[in-house]
Every structure is written in structure tokens, then in C-alpha cells.
Amino acid sequence: MFENVPDNGLKYVGKGVDRIDTVEKLTGKALYTCDWLVPGMLFGKIKTSPHARARIIKIDTSKAEKLPGVHAVITGNELDYRMGLYLVDKHILAKGVVRHFGEAVAAVSAESWEVAHHAIGLIDVEYEVLEAVLDPVEALKEDAPLVHPDLGKYDHVREAFTPVPGTNIANRMKYRKGDLEQGFREADFIIERRYTNPSVQHVPMETHVSIGQWSVGDKISIITSAQSPFTVRNLFAHSFKIPHENIRIQIPYVGGGFGGKAGIHLEPLACCLSRKSGGRPVKLQATREEEFSLLPCRSGLVYNIKTGVKKSGKIVAQQMTMYWDAGAYADYAVNVTRASGYSAAGPYEIPNAWVDALTIYTNKPFGTAYRGFGHVEFSWGIERHMDLIAKTIGMDSLKFRLLNAMKPGSTTLTGEVISENTGNVTRCMEAVAESINYGQLTGAEKAREKKTGRKIGKSVVALHKAPAMPSFTGTSVILRMNENGSVSATFSLTEIGAGTYTSVAQIIAETLKFPIEKVHVPIEIDTNHDPYDWQTVASKGLLLTGNAAILAAIDLIRKAYEIAGQVLRASQCDLDHDGEKVFLKHHPAKFVPFSKLAVGYAYPGGNGIGGPLIGVGRYCAQGLSNLDKETGQGNPALDWTYGAHGLIVEVDPKTGAYTIIKVASAFDVGRAINPAAVRGQAIGGMIQGLGTAMFEGYYYDRAGRLLNPSFTDNKIPTSLDIPEEVDAIVVETPQIDGPFGARGVGEHSMIAICGALGNAIEKAVGANLTHMPIRPQDIWKALQTGAKPDSPGISGDVVNFAEAPLCSTRRDSGKHKKR
């Protein structure tokens, strides 16, 4: 909508206007769920499992119950509800067995945190420890312990997902395009290698927190730090069989989400504690340690890629097998598997392709959505593989990427034909290559190498992602005019930090032709008052809610014209308006101010017409379809946002220590609604991605206990870890069905940056890396073992995640056959 309006015809869209939510945040006045107190509120605390897999023999809660100040103690025995987004596999508290370290086993409510904490220590749980399955590939073996023996009985979304009962496979996705065997027959080279990455944490600065109240008549009230109010409500309604209208979800300011707060988490337990505490509200807040193990993480991945390529550099066939380590519960991981499956080749055209993607249960903390939804993980393998192929066939790796890049007329893995309007990945790659002087060292860089004794390497990688969402995803915006002629907009996308609320305000101001100061968007959400949105995920919010906002603004103006036409005794086609009034086009002196139309127009004699002005906008994703279960063919993609990163790294060849000198990132955003916010997303996601690339990741012992659930041992990037220079670039190929041509970019900056780092390091010092994160010791080890890319690999080697971060670079290497 309005995608072809030129920049110079726009007043707010395309301008880096101030965010509408920062004054409250800067003054400490913004209230997050953790700040909320509710009259009568009790404090909850959770007893968690110290084992990865164990049978619960007995839970003795008697001592805890007797502790003064304790109101309720609950265990899984008394709760018979299973939850699940797509596959209903998780009890609110473990029932009979625990399936991962950190799983909730019992909970208490008490009059203070201290009493609750003390009470948890008084609960005795007797376990019989069972053999745990920790490696996703091992979990596929016939004799592997089953994480969910009852998988066949679980309810699931049948149109989209395929669990395999009797195995640890929570979902199996198949994508089949062209003729794979024929493609490999045509290839001059076949190159195969395995790539791995561990689970990581989202690390929102505000940990998960919920206040739940279960009142008489099954009236539920929840205040929570969640991303998706209506999804929390819907899942709660289904699991507890309570009517939707009985459930109220309020979401105040949210201290970061990144996908970790997309589903339903602490809300049901807080409400169950409330019910057993006589209906008093109960606040449950995860500690940072619980955030790492009780709450979900990002799934680990083992990714096998086998590619057939011609001497000319054209890829002719690719077979990809993805083993997703979902952990103990499916949550979003089954959909990560689906969505990353159809993107699994990166933004490159593969004429003949097979992808087999498996979501595999293991006895580890479970995976969920995380910024990039699988694409960060597989882009590591794909982008490392692209460089390996280029090196093997003796072609420059950027030239090789440009040759195979998606272009108008290319088809995706699911058969969608790319058009001129889809976006331009080639331009993104060219822009970042230019920014980093790809392919050469500048005079200054040569001097730097000489001075430091370190080696400089440069890389360019490309990326793409489309939202993973139901084909009929819908949203809505309500725009109410206030008495003074300003407007207030409500919608249920949450402002988790990305700045989307400001962009939507800009879109509304632009469409209404109102000054932006007259557009008010309250940050807090309440399902009792605000209109439906599916979820705040997938970088779909700006496009869908933006469109609904345009439609709401058009609807509001149309309704204002209906009344103004009567007042001015004019046909609506003769009306125009500005930020203050509706007037006659040919007699602008004849007008009626919006303030007189806002809540109903009163004639001089006193009689009135109209009533309060309300605009309604609804938008539903259009033209999408389910995927065929055997071939994966269909149209799942609302929009494709393309991008590229260029990275310059300086590596010490003796120690493996490295410094990132520069990152240039370019994204085809269609149109940057708020360039300053886009820049914030570009840089913020890039650094978050570098955290994943450089040092973040879960470490387990052999029994499956998480060893580093804290900031002491699981750091995120600090201000001293950022590149010396960053360059954020946008390409703007308008999205026809995007608001003012825009498409989403919230997740994309995080994708493929890991591959960019690995490739630049390899170019600098020749380290052959197949596991991320890349720590200096990993580079050092790779250089010592001399695992060069062209040395024979150990095909089919199983990477044990329990050990992977320490030894994977030694265990993995490449396998190439020259024909």
C-alpha cells in the first residue's frame, strides 16, 4: 500500500523521528511487569530438577507447607493440564518424570520472596535417575531412550507438523525440488561437510515474570512480560478449558523478548498457585539462572550439507539434513524446523534440492523461537559451505555467491517464483563489499598488519528470511478520535524494544495527514480492550499491523467525511482535509474542525449527528498456503527480506585472538519507515549475532546438567566487544503489499553474521571452523591440528553436544570428492 509514493511526498515516513516510548524509559517511569504490585499479592518460587532425566519417586512437601507465611505448595500430581503451541507435550509441573535439568517440579506461594525461597528448600524430592539422551543424532538410534513415550497420543497441528510416534522425532519436514540425483550427476564437484552449533540463550534483560490471579467463577487475570497477549490467552483457554472471554492478559512495558517470550511460559503456574492460594494474585519471576534452564533457549543444530556444483560455479544440486536439538519439549522448535527448512539454502537458487529437517527431543532445556527463527543457526553452515565450495572450485567466494544469488525468475525451495519486487540481494552484497573494500587490503590495513603481526581477512555473506506464521495470520488496529481532534491507536503487537510502535505512529500520521504529535499509541496492552493480533514474532509486525493501521486511518477519515459532508452540504468527493479540519477543496475557507467532529457534531441549534469517530483496520496475510507434506511445495512467505554482511577481522596467527575491525550490513527493507530505528535493529541484531558467533553457548556435563547458567560463565557482548566500525545500509525495493513499501527487518541483522566471522577468520589465517561459537582457542586448535578444508573428513561422525564446544573443531572436517 502506498509503496510508490516518492520520499519527497512524505512527511513522517522515512524520517528518523524520536521514539514515542523513550521518555518513560529514560526517566524510570516505564513500568515493567517486574515493577508491578497488585493488592494482596503473594510471591511464588519454583523447585527445579537437578537431573536431566529421572523418575520422580516421591515428593514430600509437608515441611514446606508448615512454614509460617506459606500459602500454597503444588506439585505435578495435582495438575492435569498439558500445554503446547503446536504439539501439546508439556505439563505445567513435571508429572512422574523430569525431562531436563532445570524443569519445574514443585512450586510455592508465600507472603515474601524470602519465605517462598526458604519453603522451596524444604521440599524433598526423591528421584530415580535414568539414562538421558543428550545428542540429537544419538537420539535417533533405535535403542535410544524415548523422551516422550506417549508422543503418539499428543494433540498437534496436523496441517503443518508430523511427529513420529515411537521415536524422538517431534516433527519431520521434507522439501523436494527438481531432480536431486540428476543434479548430482551433472555436477563437476560434490562437496560435503557437517556443521554444528549449540543452544544459546536469548538473554532479555528482564527475565520472564508473570502475575496470575485465578478468581471465583474461573475469571483469570494475568499481567505478564510476554510478546503475544492473544496467544497466551488462547493457549490458556485451550489447556484449562476456560472460555476466552474469562481470561484477561495485560502486558505492560517488556524488557526485551527476542522470541523467548513469544509463547506461554510462567503464566499457567502463577495462576495455579493463585487458585490454590484462595484466589490471591501470585507473582512468579525467573531468576537469571532459571532464565537459562527453566525457561527455553535456542535449539542446537547439526547440519549436513552436500552440494553439487559445476566448474562454472553454478550450483546444480544440494542435499541438506538438519538435526534440530529441540530439548525436552517441542514448543516453537517444530516450527523453527519447518521455517528454516524452506529457507535452508540461503538466498541462493538451487535447481535440485532435498531438505530433510528433523525436530529431535533430547533431555535438555527446550528450544523456542529466537530472533532469526532457525536462520542464524543454519546460515552458519550454509555460509561456511559457500566459502568451502568457492575455495574448492577456485572461484572468488563473492563472485560465486553473486552467480548463485536469488534473482527475479528464480524459484525458492518451495516453488515460489521471485520477482522484481521481492528484493535485491545482489545489491546488498555489492553495497557491503564496497564498504569493506572486499578482495584487497587498503594501504592502512597493510600497515596495520605489519605493525601488529596479525593477519586481516574479509568476507561477504548473504541472507534471507520470511516470517514463519500461519498462512492466514491476521491483525487489527482501532483508531479513536479524541475530543481535541487527536487520535489514539490501539493494537496488540507488543513493543518489546524494536520501535515498531513509533513506526506505526508514523504510518498513521502520514496516512491521516496529521502531525505526529496528534497520534497517541499507548504501550500497554490489555486483551479486554485491545483488538486481536496473532503474535509479536517473525518480523511480520510492521507489515501486517502497518497495513491495518493504514486501513484504520482511511476508515476514520471516511467516517469524518460522511459527517463533514453533511455539515458543509457537500459531496464527499469535494472534500479534503489537513491535520486540523475537513474543508471544501475549491473553497478552503469553508471547513469544519476535527475537534467538532470527534465525538459527534452539534449544529448551532443543539441537535447533533455522527457520534464518536472510530476507524477500524483489519489485515490478513494474503496468498499464502500450507505446504505439501511430501514435497514441501507451497507458498509460506509473506515477504522475503534480503541482506548481506561484510566483515573485516584481524587475527593473531599464533594465539587465535582476534579483533573485528568492521562490519557493514545491508538489508532490502522495502522502505525504511524510521531510518534511525532501522539502524538500531541493524546494529543491535548484528551484535547479538556476534555474541552467538564469538562466545555464547550452553555447556553440559555428561549427565546433562547445564554448567553455565549465569552471566559469569555465559557472557553476552559488552560495549568492549563491538567492532571498531559499523556501517548500516539499506536497499529499498518496495514491497507491493507492504505499508509504504516496507518489509520487516527485526531479525535479519542477526542472521549469517556468524558465517561472516568464520569466513573472514579462515581467509586471514586458514583456520577450518565448522562449529560456532568461535573462541580464540578454537582458532588456535584448528591451526594446530591443521585440519585444512581439503583434508579427508570423518563422514557421519556424530558430534556430541555434551562435548562439542571444546572439541568440535577437531572432530569435524570436510569431505570432498572430485569427479
Partner 1 sequence: MKITLTINGREYTRDIAENRTLLRFIREDLGLTGTKEGCGAGECGACTVIVNGKTMNSCLMLAAECSGAVIETIEGESESGELSKMQQAFHKHHAVQCGFCTPGMIMSVKALVKKNPKPTVHQIQEAIEGNFCRCTGYTQIIEAVQAGTDQRDEQEELRRV
Q: Please, what is the minimum distance in Å from the beta carbon of residue 710 to partner 1? A: 7
Per the listing, cell 543457526 goes with: 377
The site for partner 1, by CB under 8 A, has a size of: 68
Give the integer Cα–Cα distance in Å for 343 and 181. 21
Instruction: Provide the grid cell at 222.
Output: 494475568
Among 729, 753, 783, 799, binds partner 1 (CB under 8 A): 729
Among 26, 216, 444, 589, binds partner 1 (CB under 8 A): 26
567 binds partner 1 (CB under 8 A): no
747 binds partner 1 (CB under 8 A): no
Among 140, 393, 395, 716, binds partner 1 (CB under 8 A): 716
Per-residue contact track with partner 1, 274 to 303, x per CB under 8 A? -------------xx---------------
Q: 10 Cβ partners below 8 Å, 6+ apart?
A: 510, 740
Residue 342: which of 177, 539, 137 has the closest Cα? 177
Give the integer Cα–Cα distance in Å for 203 and 288. 9
Cis peptide before 773 (omega within 30 of 0): yes
Binding region for partner 1 (CB under 8 A) out of 17-25, 74-82, 535-543, 557-565: 17-25
Binding region for partner 1 (CB under 8 A) out of 14-22, 482-490, 514-522, 778-786: 14-22
- In the bound state with partner 1, the residue whose beta carbon lies nearer, of 358 and 498, is 498
193 binds partner 1 (CB under 8 A): no
- In the bound state with partner 1, the residue whose beta carbon lies nearer, of 372 and 499, is 499
510 binds partner 1 (CB under 8 A): no
Per-residue contact track with partner 1, 407 to 436, x per CB under 8 A? --------------------x---x-----
Q: 681 Cβ partners below 8 Å, 6+ apart?
A: 498, 499, 745, 746, 749
- In the bound state with partner 1, the residue whose beta carbon lies nearer, of 257 and 546, is 257
Among 586, 604, 719, 796, binds partner 1 (CB under 8 A): 719
Q: Please, what is the minimum distance in Å from the beta carbon of residue 202 to partner 1? A: 8
Instruction: Provide the grid cell at 414.
Output: 518451495
35 binds partner 1 (CB under 8 A): yes
710 binds partner 1 (CB under 8 A): yes
- In the bound state with partner 1, the residue whose beta carbon lies nearer, of 351 and 499, is 499
Q: Please, what is the minimum distance in Å from the beta carbon of residue 118 to partner 1? A: 12
H-helix or E-strand spanning residue 282: strand 282-285
- In the bound state with partner 1, the residue whose beta carbon lies nearer, of 102 and 485, is 102
Q: Hey, which residues between 132 and 191 contact partner 1 (CB under 8 A)?
A: none
- In the bound state with partner 1, the residue whose beta carbon lies nearer, of 615 and 744, is 744
Q: What b-and-e string marks burial along 158-167, b requiring 16 or more CB atoms within 10 Å of the CB? A: eebbbbeeeb
Q: 100 Cβ partners below 8 Å, 6+ apart?
A: 49, 52, 53, 293, 327, 328, 363, 364, 365, 366, 704
204 binds partner 1 (CB under 8 A): yes
Q: Please, what is the minimum distance in Å from the beta carbon of residue 110 to partner 1? A: 15
Q: What b-and-e string marks burial along 624-648, b requiring 16 or more CB atoms within 10 Å of the CB? A: beebeeeebbbbbbbbbbbbbbbbb
Among 555, 727, 747, 778, binds partner 1 (CB under 8 A): 727
Local structure of residue 365 (DSSP, 8 states) = P
5 binds partner 1 (CB under 8 A): no
- In the bound state with partner 1, the residue whose beta carbon lies nearer, of 61 and 227, is 227
Q: Please, what is the minimum distance in Å from the beta carbon of residue 654 to partner 1? A: 25
- In the bound state with partner 1, the residue whose beta carbon lies nearer, of 226 and 598, is 226
- In the bound state with partner 1, the residue whose beta carbon lies nearer, of 35 and 65, is 35
**How many beta carbons lie within 10 A of that of residue 315, not counting itself?**
23
499 binds partner 1 (CB under 8 A): yes
Q: Please, what is the minimum distance in Å from the beta carbon of residue 120 to partner 1? A: 16
Beta strands 300-309 and 282-285: pairing type? unpaired
Binding region for partner 1 (CB under 8 A) out of 124-132, 309-317, 694-702, 716-724: 716-724
10 Å CB burial of residue 239 (0-12, 13-18, 19+) is middle
254 binds partner 1 (CB under 8 A): yes
Q: Please, what is the minimum distance in Å from the beta carbon of residue 651 to partner 1? A: 21
498 binds partner 1 (CB under 8 A): yes
593 binds partner 1 (CB under 8 A): no
Binding region for partner 1 (CB under 8 A) out of 82-90, 233-241, 586-594, 730-738: 730-738
Residue 425: which of 819, 751, 72 has the closest Cα? 751
Q: Please, what is the minimum distance in Å from the beta carbon of residue 509 to partner 1? A: 18
Among 451, 720, 796, 819, binds partner 1 (CB under 8 A): 720
- CA–CA–CA angle 415, 417, 419 (5° rounding): 165
- CA–CA–CA angle 120, 121, 124 (5° rounding): 90
503 binds partner 1 (CB under 8 A): no
Binding region for partner 1 (CB under 8 A) out of 70-78, 185-193, 254-262, 470-478: 254-262
Count of helices and strands (H, E) across the chain: 19, 32
Strands across the sheet containing 54-60:
97-98, 54-60, 124-129
Q: 202 Cβ partners below 8 Å, 6+ apart?
A: 256, 257, 258, 259, 260, 297, 298, 370, 371
Binding region for partner 1 (CB under 8 A) out of 171-179, 395-403, 598-606, 718-726: 718-726
Give the integer Cα–Cα distance in Å for 132 and 627. 34
Q: Hey, which residues between 634 and 693 contact partner 1 (CB under 8 A)?
A: 666, 672, 675-680, 682-688
- Alpha-carbon torsion 681, 682, 687, 693, what sign? positive
Show the DSSP H helices in 472-610 as ranges. Answer: 500-512, 541-567, 594-597
Q: How far is CA 29 from the centre of its chain?
A: 28
| Residues at the interface with partner 1 (CB under 8 A) | 16, 18-19, 21-32, 34-35, 202-207, 253-258, 287-288, 427, 431, 496-499, 666, 672, 675-680, 682-688, 710-712, 716-720, 722, 726-732
